[in-house]
Amino acid sequence: MHHTIFDTPVVNTLLRVVSQATLRLTGWTIEGSLPAHAAKSVLIAAPHTSNWDLPYTLMLAFSLHLRVYWMGKQSLFQAPFGGVMRWLGGIPVNREQSSNLVASSAQAMRAAKGPMQLIVPPEGTRGKTRHWKTGFYFIAQEAGVPIVLAFVDYGRKVGGLGPVFEPTGDLDADMATIKAFYAPIKGKNADQFET
């Protein structure tokens, strides 16, 4: 995987302090921590209803000492901000082109040296959607890593890491369990989030 802001020691430390102070000053609370066995994991990014989700997610990642990569629509990576988005851990996804994103993501996770958390928004868009994409599930399963139920709850002003979930192979049952965790969580635009 490419070099990111999370691999830049002085900047990473400075942004951790700034992130913790900003969250505290704005009334946000951080919950959870990443267990050692989930150092390599797929993090669900839900609910995803606003452009504000990215800055809050990054502040939470710095505060929780994570080393994240996140998937975003390809248009975010166009000039002049493409390099910055990649440095922030972004991986462009072309939603109109069929590619083997699951296999390549799983391979990148297996090959990564050291911790790596891949953030995947199951809704695939900030707009309202009734169906979650299952790519995050299959990436975790193929890479042999757990899924961490990460969240940004604007209703309670709490963000962080929920339970660690091990895929069982029963997609329908596992998705029902995962969605039950997210049911009470409110996105910034709460009317756009459905589990």
Total domain count for the chain? 1
C-alpha angle 128/129/131, rounded to 5°? 160
pTM score = 0.88
Amino acid 50: pLDDT: 87
The 3-state DSSP class for residue 29 equals: strand
57 domain residue, yes or no:
yes
Amino acid 73: pLDDT: 79
Amino acid 126: pLDDT: 46
Domain interval for residue 43: 5-147+154-188
Residues of the chain with pLDDT under 70: 95-99, 124-130, 190-195
195 domain residue, yes or no:
no
194 domain residue, yes or no:
no
Could you tell me which of 70, 178, 77 has the C-alpha nearest to residue 118?
Answer: 70
115 domain residue, yes or no:
yes
Amino acid 124: pLDDT: 52
Neighbours of 85 (CB within 10 A): 17
60 domain residue, yes or no:
yes
Amino acid 99: pLDDT: 66
Contacts of residue 172, defined as CB under 8 A and 6 or more positions apart, other chains included, come to none
92 cis-preceded (ω within 30 degrees of 0): no
Rounded Cα distance, 48 and 121, in Å: 7
25 domain residue, yes or no:
yes
